[in-house]
Chains A and B, each alone.
Chain A
Amino acid sequence: MGLRYGTGAEVLRDLDFRLAAGGFYFLTGPSGAGKTSLLKLLYLAQRPTRGRIRLFGEELSEAPREALPGFRRRIGVVFQDFRLIRHLSAFDNVALPLRIAGRSEAEVDASVREMLDWVGLADRSGARPPTLSGGEQQRVAIARAVIGRPELLVADEPTGNVDAEMASRLLRLFEALNGLGTTVVVATHDINLIASQPRAELMRLDGGTMVDPTGVLKNPPRSRAIAP
């Protein structure tokens, strides 16, 4: 598949790969390589301009837009810039996916409190994002992404604003979700994070194409770049 914005050059080209259900993947590559664009395709914020995307067993490249919310609810996303709603409390931000999915308020309340406790923000549930530190906002964003037990978790630099201890805790959260069957895709530059998860597969993007030019990447991805 390929992706271009407007009439510009393709930012992703000739990508052809398969993610195994329940797999754990790191996506790496230099800035501007197309990592965020690829994640956007995965969490259905973009359609490929050519080629096809098959997700959850369904061909979604040309699926009617009315069908997309149902699939998006099965995906958790951690955005690089957190994307928290500024005027909502941490509690309400984390509760959003459950409320959109129509869960009862009792269920929402219990789940959100448990999740905020897990990410160490139980005492900050009423705080609004502008009053939270970068790391705290990151944790709220992660809590929001995982609270609905998604089948696919897509995270863009999820540990960029947290200390090593919190990064380790978050990775354990991702592993726990992965253990429950969630497919995890983490875009990161963090070598330590990659090294701490030896079972994970590695995908490397460069210039919009999946590459492994050095051949030294551990766990080479089950993906391949197709020569144009």
Chain B
Amino acid sequence: MKLVGGMPGEGNLLPAQKVHGPTTAVIAIMTFAMLLVAAAGLALTDAAGVVAKGVESRFVIELPAGIAGELPKVLAAVRSAPGVQSATPVPETEMRSTLESWLGSAAAAGDLPIPALVTVELKPGFNPTQLQARIAQTVPGATTVTETAELGPLLRSLHTLQWLAFSLVTLIAVATSAAVVLAARGALDTHRFTIEIMHGIGATDRQVTRLFERKIATDALIGAVAGGLAAAIGLLLVGGAGAAFAGELTGAAPLGQLDLLILAIMPILVVVLAILVARWAILKALRETL
């Protein structure tokens, strides 16, 4: 598909602009907003993925204080089970240190009953149900606690925000298209005289449309590049601080290579969208004339 091309000398059929007009500014702003929202959406997708993966593959075994001595037996049973990536007991000193925040020095007293905890991480794709049954069989009284219940609302919120972000990207694309349609109609009105002459001499609708496609493509390209650069600077500034926070929250970088590639392609898609929408709007308007 040829997006922009045409007859020789057509570049000067519409007067050259020294300063690019509101279409360029609108496309720059739309591209900027679209990239920021899309980056947020992609970061949320990644974060949701990391959280979901953690929820699915991790759980904690709790041995009440009365049977805490059964810890080696539980560890042996878990470590020998298929699909277990790691089984790490939580040190008693660490638990007492945590309890100290609430109980003060009493937490260090030897007579305070402390349960034994084991953090289990499964290999990807393994279902914890079978292992949980085996633990209950090996040490009756041992319980397993998954994070699904606790993190379920967070995951749902992340997914909602993610879809909200992508819906916003779509809405911005629609608004950009509407702005291009208005710009195309305005350009047609401004250059109606030239169009009438060209039609009178035998120009086809495609030949006339190409004149405006070229102009709108130039405007869109300048706008998309400006908006893209502004968004890149914004993402670097905001992302620097956000990356550390997101990394701590989810254990992963907020934007991966694929995300960056998608963001890099978006300004190009904005230009292509602008050209296609302009072509449609102009052809539609021309078909209303003889």
Which residues of A come within 8 Å of B, CB atoms? 43-47, 65-66, 68-73, 75, 77, 83, 85, 87-88, 92, 95-97, 99-102, 105, 108, 144
Cα–Cα, bound, A182→B220 (Å): 46
Contact status B7-A99, CB under 8 Å: yes
Contact status B290-A85, CB under 8 Å: no
Cα–Cα, bound, A85→B12 (Å): 11
Cα–Cα, bound, A104→B8 (Å): 8
Question: What count of chain B residues pass the 8 Å CB interface test?
Answer: 22
Min Cβ gap A113→B in Å is 15
Stretch from B75-83, B116-124, B193-201, B222-230 at the A interface: B193-201
- Of chain B, the residue at the smallest CB distance from A83 is B197
Cα–Cα, bound, A43→B197 (Å): 12
**Which of B9, B196, B201 contacts A92 (CB under 8 A)?**
B9
- Of chain A, the residue at the smallest CB distance from B207 is A100
Contact status A108-B13, CB under 8 Å: no
Cα–Cα, bound, A77→B196 (Å): 13
Which residues of chain A are near B287, meaning CB under 8 Å? 65
Contact status A87-B202, CB under 8 Å: no
Contact status A72-B197, CB under 8 Å: no
Give me 12 A-to-B residue pairs in the complex whose CB atoms sit less than 8 angstroms apart, sorted by A's number.
A65-B287, A68-B290, A69-B203, A75-B202, A77-B201, A83-B196, A83-B200, A99-B8, A99-B10, A100-B7, A100-B202, A102-B7
Known: A45-B290, A72-B200, A101-B202. A87 touches B15 (CB 8 A): yes
Cα–Cα, bound, A95→B197 (Å): 13
Binary contact readout B138-157 vs A (1 if CB under 8 angstroms, 0 otherwise): 00000000000000000000
Which residues of chain B are near A75, meaning CB under 8 Å? 202
Binary contact readout B7-33 vs A (1 if CB under 8 angstroms, 0 otherwise): 111101101000000000000000000
Contact status A45-B12, CB under 8 Å: no
B98 at the interface (CB under 8 A from A): no
Known: A45-B200, A69-B204. A105 touches B8 (CB 8 A): yes
Cα–Cα, bound, A83→B201 (Å): 11
Contact status A100-B198, CB under 8 Å: yes
Which residues of chain B are near A101, meaning CB under 8 Å? 202
